[in-house]
A and B are shown apart, each in its own frame.
Chain A
Amino acid sequence: MPQLDTATFMPQLVWLALTFIVLYVVLSRRLLPRIGEILEARKDKIAHDLGAAEAAKKQAEATLAAYEAGIAKARVEALGLHAAAQEAAAKASAQRREEAEATLAREGAAADAAIAAAKGRALGEIREAAAEIAQAALARIVGIEVDRATALKAATDEGVA
Chain B
Amino acid sequence: MSTEAHSPLSQFEVHTLVPIQIGSVDASFTNAAVFMVAAAASVLLFLSLGMAKRAMVPGRWQSLVELSYEFIANLVRDNVGKEGRRFFPFVFALFMFILFCNAIALVPYTFTVTSHIIVTFAFAAVVFVLVTLVGLFKHGLHFFSLFLPKGVPIALAPLLVPIEIISYLARPVSLALRLFANLTAGHTMLKVFGGFVVMLGLAGVAPLLVIVVLYGLETLIAFLQAYVFTILTCIYLNDALHLH
On whether the beta carbons of A15 and B33 are closer than 8 Å, the reply is yes
On whether the beta carbons of B93 and A19 are closer than 8 Å, the reply is no
On whether the beta carbons of A12 and B27 are closer than 8 Å, the reply is no
Contacts of A31 in B (CB 8 A): 44, 47-48, 51
From A3, A4, A11, A34, contact of B30 by CB (8 A): A11
A16 touching B27 in the complex, CB below 8 Å, given contacts A1-B12, A31-B48, A35-B51: no
Tally of A-B Cβ pairs under 8 angstroms: 117
State the interface size on chain B (CB cutoff 8 A).
46
On whether the beta carbons of B14 and A11 are closer than 8 Å, the reply is yes
On whether the beta carbons of A24 and B27 are closer than 8 Å, the reply is no
In the complex, whether A32 has a CB less than 8 A from a CB of chain B is yes
Determine how close the nearest CB of chain A comes to the CB of B101; give it in whole angstroms: 10
Q: Which of A4, A10, A27, A32 has the most CB of B within 10 A?
A: A27
State the interface size on chain A (CB cutoff 8 A).
34
Instruction: State A10–B33 Cα separation when bound (angstroms).
Output: 11
In the complex, whether B191 has a CB less than 8 A from a CB of chain A is no
Point out residues on A near B: beta carbons under 8 Å: 1-5, 7-17, 19-20, 22-24, 26-28, 31-32, 34-36, 38-39, 41-42, 45
Please list 26 pairs of residues, one from A and one from B, whose beta carbons are closer than 8 Å in the complex, sorted by A's number.
A1-B12, A3-B180, A4-B117, A8-B30, A8-B32, A8-B118, A10-B26, A11-B26, A11-B27, A11-B28, A11-B30, A13-B122, A15-B30, A15-B33, A19-B33, A23-B93, A23-B96, A24-B90, A27-B47, A27-B96, A28-B90, A31-B47, A32-B89, A34-B51, A35-B51, A39-B69
Q: In the complex, given contacts A16-B122, A17-B122, A39-B70, what are 16 additional A-B residue pairs having Cβ atoms less than 8 angstroms apart?
A: A1-B12, A2-B9, A3-B12, A3-B118, A10-B27, A11-B33, A12-B118, A15-B27, A20-B40, A23-B40, A27-B44, A28-B90, A32-B92, A34-B51, A34-B54, A39-B69
